[in-house]
Every structure is written in C-alpha cells, then in structure tokens.
A and B are shown apart, each in its own frame.
Chain A
Amino acid sequence: MLKSPNIASKNRLWVFYIFVLFVHLLLIGRFFKIQIIDNEIYLKRAKSNYVRALSTPAPRGLILDRNGKIIVDNYPTYIVYGIDAEIKNKNQNYSIISKATGIDTLTLINNYKNYFRSRFLPTKIAKDLTIEQLSQLEENKNNLSGIIYEQFPERIYHPMVKATHVLGYLKEIDKEMINNSQTNQYSFGDLAGWSGIEKKYENKLRGQKGVSYYQVDAYGREAGEVDGYDNILPQPGQNINTTLDIDLQLLVEEIYANKKGAAIVSIPNTGEILAYVSSPDYNPSLFTGMVSSKEWQEIVSDPDRPLLNRAANGLYPPASIFKMVVAIELLEKKLVNKSWSVVCTGEYEFYDRVHKCWDKNGHGTVNIESAIAQSCDVFFYEAIQKVRLDELEKRSKEFLHGVPTNIDLPSEMKGRVPNRKYMNKLYGRYGWSTGAMLNIAIGQGEILVTPIQMMAYINLLANKGNVKNLHLVTPNLLSINNNVSISDDTWKIIHNSMRKVIYDTKGTGKLSNPKINNVNVYGKTGTAENPHGETHAWYVGYANRGEATVSVVILVENGGGGGSVASPIARKIFKKYYSKNNPKIANNQ
C-alpha cells in the first residue's frame, strides 16, 4: 500500500505550522524572561554561588619584655572548617581528617556539633594543624567535600619564661562576650584574652580582621581569586612592651619551680614591675587549643589552685611586715619616741592570756628600731595599747594595706583592714577587747593583704611616700594616693630600722644581703601564722646603689620563716639585678 496517496489537507498543515511556531515562541519568551528580564536576579545569585568571603585573622600583637625581647609570639597554624551545605559525605571527611591529624573522629564530630551555626557558614572541625598535616589533607582534596582551611596565627610562648599570670591566656569567646562587645569585632570561635595582659590590652593586641574573597566551585573548593573584589588586609595588633625583664623573670620562676607563693620585683621610682611570679601556674597554650573537659577539670580541681593569681588575688596576713605601719602610727602620733623601750622576755602576759614572742628566748631591752630589726613581737604588744584601732586602719590604708593597687591586670583583690565597726560586727559590741589589737599589731588576725599591695607598700616606703602606680605596661592614670607626708624623723627611724633588719647581727633579714659594694638593702621579714599548716614566709625590701633602686616582695606559702626562707630568695634577686650592671636602663625608664 505504498502507493496510497498523500492525503494531508492544507488546513491541517497550517495547524501544524501554527503549533510549531507557538512552541518556539513560548520557549523564546521563556528564555527572554530568564535571560533578559530577570538577568540581574540571576547574576546576583550566580555571584553568591561562587564568591565566598572569608575573614582573615589578624595576627595578635606580640608581647615583649622591657628590652624588646619577645615573650609571646605567633606562629602559623591551620584551622579546618566544613561547610554543611556543601559536604557530600561527612563520614568520609571525618575519617580523612582524622587520619591526617591524628585527632579521633569522635572529637571531630563533637567539635563540628559545638561550632555549628548555619548550613552555609564555615564550621570549625579541627585546629592547630601543622603545614605537614595540611598537606596530607590537600593530597586527599578530591575525596573531601565542603572542606576549607584557614591560616591562623597561633600564640607561641617563650620556651623558658612563663610569666603565666602576667600574660594571661587566650580562650574562645563565648556568647556573652559577643553580645557585650560594642565594636562587633568578634565572631563565634574567635580567640580573645581571658586574663592577664592578654585581657587587659585585648583592644590593642587584637588588631583588625581582614576579608578575602575566594572563588569556589560547586564542591566548595577554592578556584582562585575573584575579579572585582578587593581583599581587605588584616591589621595586625599592636605589640605590647611590658616592663618585665626576661632574665629576672626567669630567675624568679626557676626559684619558684617547686614552691607555692608569689614574688614581685619592681622599680620603686617608676612603679615598673620587672618580674611577677605566681606559683604554681599552668600551661597557657592549653586554652588556645580545644580544651578537653578532662584537662579543664584537672586544673580547676587542683588543690594547689594553679589558676589563682596569688600575687594579685591571693589574700594573706601581712604578719611582721605590717610592723612598719604600726611604728609609723606610734611615731607620728608621738605615742612613743625613738628611745622608748620594752623588755622582751619571750612572752607577754595580757590579762589572763599569754602572748608569745616569736623568739621564746626573748630579745631583752628593745626600742623601736631594734624591735623592727629583730621583729620583736612583745614591743608591739606593749606599744599597740596606745593605738586606737580606727586610727591604725586609717594609717594602714595610707600605706596601701587593703587598697587596690590599680595595677594593669584585669583583676585584683582588695584585702581587708579591720576597724571598730568591722570588729563589732564580727564579734559583737563586747565580744572583742584590746587583746585582739595585740594580734593586729603583729599583722595577724583580721588583716589580709595581697602580695601586690605589699609591693606598693614597700615602694612607698622606699620612695619616702612618693607613690608611683605599679604597672606592667602603662601606669593607670587614676593614682591611688598622691603623697604620704610624714615627718623626716619618722622616715629616718623607719629606714634605719629596715636597714638594721639586714645589717644588724640580730637582724631577721640578714640572709637577703647580696654583699655587693655600694648596694644598700632595706627590708623586713614576716612569718604569717597559717591555721592550715606551715607558716607563710614573707620578705619585703628594696636595695639601692645610688639612684638604682629595686624592690622585692617574696611570699612562700607554707614556706616556714621569713628570715630563713624568703630572705635568701631576695638576695638572689638583688644579686642578679646588680650583676646585670644595668642601672642606666632602670633609670631611664
């Protein structure tokens, strides 16, 4: 039937023509709509498809010592992020990253869960990767999906010097900090200073993050830079020049390696702190990494409290180093004079109670100078009865007991100096008597101070009442106390007494004498009673050679006697300071 005629009608052919025309016009219209009318929408969408903005971290400022030596530096590490929307196989990613970094998969999964904020934002998976680990990941690039890396300058600390409590540590900021930050500088997962200088000078150290634009392909892999987008370079943070002296700091840290307590070295003329140690401490790099809760628990529950900054936040009775305050009050109020004396038999009977002198053999006849030099308690038991508690409180505060030093650290304790009101409140109106004063006279009992306050106190004594704010970087502008004016005679007696502490044959601080020509040492030891165990050993003092003055505060917790334990430490510091032969540097500051 091949010969059957073609019977198509012209009309029906036109129906076909019109239909074909219609279909093509429909398609052309559709393409016109998408490509011409909606062009801008899709252009934008295309860009957001392949342009990714990544913030580039700003290197934090370095922390230097007074001579420009680096204490805290940065070194490059890498952070691995995952972008949820682009990840095709999570488990494969984890196993590759785990292989390359040695971090177990479970930790990676947990990290991812913790940092996850949005399907389209990079979520941190692992950090602190070395370049070698990164290159291992790069080799597996084709099996990874939605994984990006970011270089991150990580803190690295001086190999020897720790200065942990001065420097502080960095930790990832929390929600509260993001909300409180006015500058909007932080984003989740950023590191910020959490204590010490890192916190105090956070704004200076931090710098400003930059933005870099990358072109990425459909698998989230970087495919070069994008035209028309200029990267914003990060602004590195400013370096911080501290007043610390690496050598002195190192010496003190070595001494305190097996001790608990605090030690501070400063220059009284300027208030600069040369060394600052609180022991025990912790490893600051522990916090920058992802802290495991186990490690954290270990630090927090350590009975030695390594997180406690003892120098600024530890409260101790000042013990005998308080005696200068009592002496000044006695002399200034003319309650005793230079020759007023007491016979010490080793104990002192007060009503029905016997108060002991630290030396049960007694000191014999002592006046105010020898009482300080030998730290005779009986002299002060007797003399204190002439003093009114509220007057003593005033004097103590004048000499910076129980007064914050305003040192440039994020926190410090205020301490406590008792007055009548306080005692009444504590013991009731008739619950305490002058007997309590006897305890206070030798710096025991209700009075509590911090080592850093004692530093301010000893500097004040060294400067004859001219107060310079203690500082690690820059002095706080709000001065704590402008000037203390007491008579020259009193100063003379006090300085003489403190000198005798070192040079008298019976002086309790003899062991602090470095025996260097032209170096004169003034000091006072203290042995604080501790209801929980061995006494705390104190030594406060300063040395000068001409104008070059250096002051120290030594506290050894449960160390024993101030004379036998704390004084030799002071000697080592004085020796180091003057053997460094750097009086000029000290002066010029």
Chain B
Amino acid sequence: MIASLTKSIKSSPFGLIIIIFGILIIGLTSLYSVAEIKADDASNAFLRQLIFLIPALILMMLFSIVPKKIVHEYVYILYILITLSVVIPFFGAKVADTYRWINIGLPFSLQPSEISKLVIVLTLARYLSDRSIQLDNFTSNFIPFMIAFIPAIIVLNQPDLGTALVMMSPVIPMLYWVGARPFHLFLLIAPALSILTAFDVMVFTIWTIIMALIIFLSKPQLWNGISIFFSNIFLGLVFPLFWNSFLRPYHRNRILTAINPELDPLGSGYQVIQSKTALGSGGFFGKGWGAGTQTQLKFLPVQESDFIVSVIGEELGFISILIMLLLFMYLVLRILNLAFNATDRFSGLVLVGIATIFLAHIFVNCSMASGMIPVKGLPLPFVSYGGSFLLSSFIMIGIVINFSKEEIY
C-alpha cells in the first residue's frame, strides 16, 4: 500500500500539482481578504476552505492509487447510484431556493451533482472504450448523449443550469476524441439549435440554410438527409407552440431567468453589474489586497464562490487574472497531453472528459463574472469557496494522476 503510494507520487506529473497549488494560493489569498470583513465569523470561508483541503488532498491521494481495473469494472453501477442520489435532494429541504444539497448530518452538506460530473465522464469513457467501432453509426453517438443527458436533465430541474451544462460538456469532446464523424456531432447539436433559433424568424431562416448546406456537403443517404432536415424544422416549428401553450407562465419565467439572469435586474442582473464594476475598477495592478471597495463594502455578492474572480480582479488586478488564466490553460493542456499519451483508450477518454469539465467551469465562471454570458452560479476550480466542488476537483486530479501512468500491476 505505502510502497504503491510512494511509487505513484514519484511517477505522478509533478508539474500538475505545482500548477494546482499556484491556483490554490491565488484563491486562498482572495478568500482571506473576503473573510477579513467577517472577522467576527469563526466559520469564515477562508478557514473552512483550509479545513476542506485536508480531506481533499487525502481523497486525491486515494484516487491516485485506486486500481483502474476496479473503477472500470463498477462504473455502470456507480452511474446508477449517483444518478439516483442526484434525485435525493428533491426530498430534502430547499437551500437558497434550490435542491442541490444533501444534509448528511455533517457540519457541511454534500452536493452529489459535483461527483456525478466525474461519474458521467467515467461512464462515457467505459462505454466508448468498449466499442472498437469508429462510431460510423449515429446510434452509437446517441447513447453517450443520453448517458449525460439523464442526470443533466434532473439537475436542470433542481434548477441548476450551470451544472447541467457542465454535465453535458464532455459528450461531444469525448466522441470527437474517439473519432466520431463531425457530421454526427452536428446532428447532436442541431436539435438544440433548431429550438433556440425558432423564436426569431430571421435567425431560424439563416439556421435552416446553414443546416441544409451542412447536410448537403456531408452527403448522407438521400432519405436520411431529408428526414434529418425536416425533423429539425418540425422541431423548430413545434417548440414555440409547446412553449406558449403547454408551459405555465411561471415555468417559462423560471426557464428564462435561468438562461438570462438579466431579466431579474434586482437579483442576478445586479450581481453581474457589481461584478463588472469590481473587476473594471481593479485595473492592471488592482487596488491592493484587502483594499477593494466593491468587495470590502459588500457591493459584490456571492464573492467567495461564484464571483471570487471579481475579488481577485479588483484587489489583485488584471495581472493576477492573467497569471491565473495562464495556469488554468497550462493545466487543461497538460491533462489533454496526458490523455494523448495514456496507455489505453479508457484512460485517455477519462482525462479528456476531466479536462473538458475543468475547461467548462473556467469558461462559464469567468465569462459570467465578466458579464459575457448570462448563466448562473458555477464555481471556479481550486479558487472558489465550496467543499463539495473542492473535493471533486481534487478527486479528478487524483484520477488524472492515476490514469496517466503506466499500468503497474
């Protein structure tokens, strides 16, 4: 046991760990600054994050030595269990108007959807590595899609659009990694685009033209092509009808504000405005650690989790944001590189999936904080305060370390 642990540490990609600690320090520095405001609060975010680091590091080490074989063997059972656990919070109490948390009697709650991201990746990897086919058949694209879609739609109903998107994000990259035809991937995305564009006649028209061109250029069988084209148009025509007549107004509002928080200017819209103000007023070098007026005067909401990047931007400046993003980029690229060099397809796929999940978190969190996209609440890996996500991030790193090395038994 101990021998295998030392071996794994020796062979682990050390660069990865250093990068992660660099990111962690940036996050903790800002959390400390935020925590300083609430000096009287013993259980402040900074301290809790530090405490969470201990189990996180232990879990990372554990997952870095878990036999790959066992993971591979039981992943489907794990998938079923975790999908069920995502449903459990519905029977619990509402926290902050959502059902994301399970209260397990600990001084903190667990968010099963955080772990389920990894499980989806593992399940997809297992499914895709089991098949030697080059995924010529569209149905073999469709099943992976459903693997992610089922837990995602449950999470979406919680409602947590951000997490649902992250859950869906590995599907296409992983399919692409194992050689799926771009046309098939296009077919996966097409219905979503048909629905989204259906609300504007002009955009819908442009979309149908593009769709027709792509289908024509990909030269599918005649009847297939025609049926794909028309079923998409049909979807686009029917969806607005469904939207307007079958959904109740409060359903519609709920979905709309989940997609676009600016519709709720006193809630999330306010957050985005304050976040941009905090970021923008920071400038190149920032206002100094603990000297951010927007942060310290609490104009910035949810500063320790969703908007931690704005705290960094305000107090430590663009230079720190730049360093952080470069570290993140190196992290993702490194994991992809490890995936390419992995010994087997399953490992490679898992690493690609994890890289995608990190990338999705980085992109959604940063573009939300900078007001580029209007999606709600996703934490930034290793930076944002939040126990569940910190644990799952380190577990994923543990898996990366584990799966990127040669088989040793």
Contact: A42 with B281, CB < 8 Å?
A: yes
**Interface-side segment among A10-18, A105-113, A166-174, A302-310:** A10-18
Any B CB within 8 A of the CB of A217: yes
Binds B, one of A33-41, A325-333, A435-443: A33-41
Q: Which residues of A contact B321 (CB under 8 A)?
A: 28, 31, 35
| A5 in the interface (beta carbon within 8 A) | yes
Question: Which residues of the other chain, A, contact B317 by a CB distance below 8 angstroms?
Answer: 35
Instruction: Give chain A nearest CB distance to B173 CB in angstroms.
Output: 7
Q: Is A585 an interface residue (CB 8 A)?
A: no
Interface contact A23-B344, CB-CB below 8 Å? no
One of A44-52, A335-343, A382-390, A486-494 at the interface: A44-52
* Known contacts A20-B329, A50-B293; A13/B344 CB under 8 A: no
B342 beta carbon closer than 8 Å to chain A: yes
Check if A6 is an interface residue, CB within 8 A of chain B. yes
Instruction: With A12-B176, A50-B297 as known contacts, state yes or no: A1 contacts B313, CB within 8 Å.
Output: no
Please, which residue of chain B has its CB at the minimum distance from the CB of A217?
B297
CB distance from B356 to the nearest CB of A (A): 9
Residue B362 interfacial (CB < 8 Å):
yes
Are B280 and A4 within 8 A (Cβ)?
Answer: no
Q: Which residues of A contact B337 (CB under 8 A)?
A: 13
- Encode B159-196 as 1/0 by CB contact (under 8 A) with A: 00000000000000100111100000000000000000
Interchain CB contact under 8 A, A27 and B336: no
B345 x A39 contact (CB < 8 A): no
Given A1-B129, A49-B293, the answer on whether A20 and B280 have CB atoms closer than 8 Å is no
A112 to B326, CA, bound (A): 53
State which residues 330-360 of B face A: CB under 8 Å. Answer: 332-333, 336-337, 339-340, 342-348, 352, 355, 359
Closest to B294 in A: A46
CB within 8 Å of A: which of B64-92?
A: 68-69, 72
Considering the complex, which residues of chain B in the window 19-36 have a beta carbon less than 8 Å from any beta carbon of chain A?
none
Nearest CB to that of B299 among chain A residues?
A218
Within 8 Å of chain B (Cβ to Cβ): is A21? Answer: yes
Task: From A2, A21, A28, A46, give the contact of B344 (CB < 8 A).
Answer: A2
Query: Which B284-315 residues have C-beta < 8 A from chain A?
Result: 284, 293-294, 297-299, 313
Q: A48: nearest residue on chain B (CB-CB)?
A: B277
Q: Is the CB of B298 within 8 A of A219?
A: yes
A24 on interface, CB distance cutoff 8 Å: yes
Q: How far is the CB of A454 from chain B (nearest CB, A)?
A: 66
Chain B residues whose C-beta falls within 8 Å of the C-beta of A41 in the assembled complex: 280
> Is the CB of A290 closer than 8 A to any CB of chain B?
no
Q: A218 to B278: give the CA distance in the assembly, Å.
A: 13
Question: Complex: how many Å from CA A1 to CA B345?
Answer: 9
Bound-state CA distance A218–B302 (Å) is 13
Among the interface residues A4, A12, A20, A24, which one has the most CB atoms of the partner chain B within 10 A? A20
Cβ-defined contact, B69 with A27, below 8 A: no
Chain A: interface secondary structure? helix
B279 an interface residue at 8 Å Cβ cutoff? yes
A229–chain B nearest beta-carbon distance, Å: 13
Contacts of B61 in A (CB 8 A): none
How distant is the Cα of A50 from the Cα of B281 in the complex, in angstroms? Answer: 13
Q: Please give, as numbers and ranges, the residues of chain A lying within 8 Å of B178 by CB-CB distance.
A: 7-8
The answer to the question of B229 belonging to the interface, with a C-beta cut-off of 8 Å to chain A, is no
Say which residue of B72, B277, B294, B325 sits within 8 Å of A28 (CB atoms).
B325
Residues of B within 8 A of A291 (CB): none
B282 contacts across to A, CB distance below 8 A: 35, 39
CB pair B370 A23 closer than 8 Å: no
**Does A20 lie within 8 Å of B299, measured CB to CB?**
no
Residue B367 interfacial (CB < 8 Å)? yes
Kindly list chain A residues whose C-beta atoms are within 8 Å of the C-beta of B383.
none
Determine the chain A residues whose CB is within 8 A of the CB of B363 once the complex forms: 23, 27
Residues of A contacting B371 in the complex (Cβ-Cβ under 8 angstroms): 34
Contact A2 B72 (CB under 8 A): yes
CB distance from B187 to the nearest CB of A (A): 19
- Once A8-B340, A16-B173, A35-B279 are accepted as A-B contacts, the answer to whether A217 and B318 lie under 8 Å apart by CB is no
Is residue A3 contacting chain B, with contact meaning CB distance below 8 A?
Answer: yes
Are A6 and B313 interface neighbours, CB within 8 A?
no
Number of CB contacts from chain A to chain B under 8 A = 154
Number of A interface residues in the complex (CB < 8 A) = 44
Question: Do A36 and B284 touch (CB < 8 A)?
Answer: yes
Contact B276 A6 (CB under 8 A): no
Give the distance to chain B from A44, nearest Cβ to Cβ, in Å. Answer: 8
B382 interface residue, CB < 8 Å from A? no
Q: What is the CA–CA distance of A15 and B321 in the complex, to the nearest angstrom?
A: 25
Partner of A35, one of B280, B329, B332, B355: B280
Question: Cβ of B322 < 8 Å from any Cβ of A?
Answer: yes
Verify A6–B329 contact, CB threshold 8 A. Answer: no
Is residue A9 contacting chain B, with contact meaning CB distance below 8 A?
A: yes
A77 at the binding interface (Cβ < 8 Å):
no
Which of chain A's residues have a CB closer than 8 A to the CB of B322?
A: 28, 31
- With beta carbons under 8 angstroms apart, the residue of A3, A5, A45 that contacts B280 is A45
Q: B336 is contacted by which of A17, A23, A24, A42 (Cβ under 8 Å)? A: A17
Q: Mark B121-142 against chain A: 1 for CB-CB distance below 8 A, else 0.
A: 0000000011010000000000
Is A35 a contact of B318 with CB atoms below 8 Å?
yes
Cross-chain contact B342 with A46 (CB below 8 angstroms) = no
Q: Assuming A16-B336, A30-B372, A217-B299, is B346 touching A4 (CB within 8 A)?
A: yes
Q: Is B269 engaged at the interface, CB distance under 8 Å to the other chain?
A: no
- Across the two chains, which residue of chain A brings its CB closest to B363? A23
B215 at the interface (CB under 8 A from A): no
Please, which residues of chain B bring their CB within 8 A of the CB of A12?
176-177, 179
User: A1 to B280, alpha carbons, bound, how many Å?
Assistant: 52
Residues of A contacting B347 in the complex (Cβ-Cβ under 8 angstroms)? 6
**Which residues on B sit within 8 Å (CB–CB) of A34?**
276, 279-280, 313, 370-371
Query: Which residue of A10, A21, A23, A36 contacts B283 across the interface (Cβ within 8 Å)?
Result: A36
A21 touching B329, Cβ below 8 Å: yes
B406 to chain A, nearest CB (A): 12
Chain A residues lying within 8 Å of B339, measured Cβ to Cβ, are 8
Which residue of chain B has its CB nearest to the CB of A51?
Answer: B293
Q: In the bound complex, do residue A27 and residue B367 qualify as a contact, i.e. CB atoms below 8 Å apart?
A: yes
The yes or no answer to B394 lying at the interface (CB within 8 A) is no
| A12 to B336 Cα, complex, angstroms | 11
Given A31-B318, A31-B321, A42-B280: A20 in contact with B336 (beta carbons within 8 A): yes
A8 smallest CB distance to B (angstroms) = 5
Q: B385 at the A/B interface (Cβ < 8 Å)?
A: no
Closest to B333 in A: A20
Bound form: Cα–Cα A32–B319 in Å? 10
Bound together, the chains give a CA A30 to CA B328 distance in angstroms of: 16
Task: Please tell me if B397 contacts chain A, counting CB pairs below 8 Å.
Answer: no
Whole-angstrom CA separation of A23 from B358 in the bound complex: 12
Within the complex, what minimum Cβ distance (angstroms) separates B109 from chain A?
Answer: 26
B386-398 toward A: CB 8 Å interface, digit per residue (1/0)?
0000000000000
Q: Are B328 and A24 in contact (CB under 8 A)?
A: yes
- Asked if B400 lies at the interface with its beta carbon under 8 angstroms from chain A, I say no
Which residues of chain A are within 8 angstroms of B401 by Cβ–Cβ distance? none
By the criterion CB–CB under 8 Å, are A35 and B284 in contact? yes
Judge if A215 is at the interface, Cβ distance under 8 Å. Answer: yes
**Supplied contacts A4-B129, A27-B362, A218-B297, 19 more A-B pairs, CB within 8 Å:** A2-B72, A2-B344, A3-B344, A8-B177, A8-B178, A8-B340, A20-B336, A30-B366, A30-B370, A31-B325, A34-B280, A35-B313, A39-B280, A39-B281, A42-B276, A43-B280, A49-B277, A218-B298, A218-B299
A-B pairs with the 4 shortest C-beta distances? A42-B280, A46-B281, A217-B297, A35-B318
User: Can you pick out 27 interface pairs between chain A and chain B where the beta carbons lie within 8 Å of each other?
Assistant: A2-B129, A3-B344, A4-B130, A6-B340, A6-B342, A6-B347, A7-B179, A8-B352, A15-B176, A16-B355, A17-B333, A23-B362, A27-B367, A28-B325, A31-B318, A31-B322, A31-B370, A32-B318, A34-B371, A36-B283, A39-B282, A39-B284, A42-B276, A43-B280, A45-B280, A45-B281, A49-B293
Using CB atoms and an 8 Å cutoff, list the residues of chain B in contact with chain A: 68-69, 72, 129-130, 132, 173, 176-179, 274, 276-284, 293-294, 297-299, 313, 317-318, 321-322, 325-326, 328-329, 332-333, 336-337, 339-340, 342-348, 352, 355, 359, 362-363, 366-367, 370-372
